[in-house]
Structure 1
C-alpha cells in the first residue's frame, strides 16, 4: 500500500468515526463511554495521519 493510499484510507476511517460520533450523540440511549471510545479512536487516527504527513515532508 502506497503512502498516499494509506493516508486516504486513514482519512476515510476518520470521517466514518466522525459520522458515528455524530449519530451516537443524537441518541440519548448511547453510553458516554462508547462516545468517548469513538473519540479516542478518531484522535488516534488523526495522530497517525499527522505523523505520516510529518514523515513525508522530511523525505
Structure 2
C-alpha cells in the first residue's frame, strides 16, 4: 500500500467538523503505512467480495 492509498483510507476517519478531533485520522494513516499486516491482508483479500470481520481492539481498519 502506498502513501496515497493510506491517506485515502484514513480520510474516512476525519472529523465532520473542522475543529473535531483528528487523532483517528492520524492514527489510521500511520497504522496503514507502518504495520506489516495491512499489505498482506490487502493482497489476500484483493479480488474477493467476501465480508471481513475485524476482531481487533482498535479502530477496525480492515
**TM-score, scaled relative to structure 1:** 0.34
TM-score by length of 2: 0.33
Structure 1 or 2: more helix by fraction: 1
Higher relative contact order (CA 8 A, sep 6+): 1
* Larger Cα-atom Rg: 1
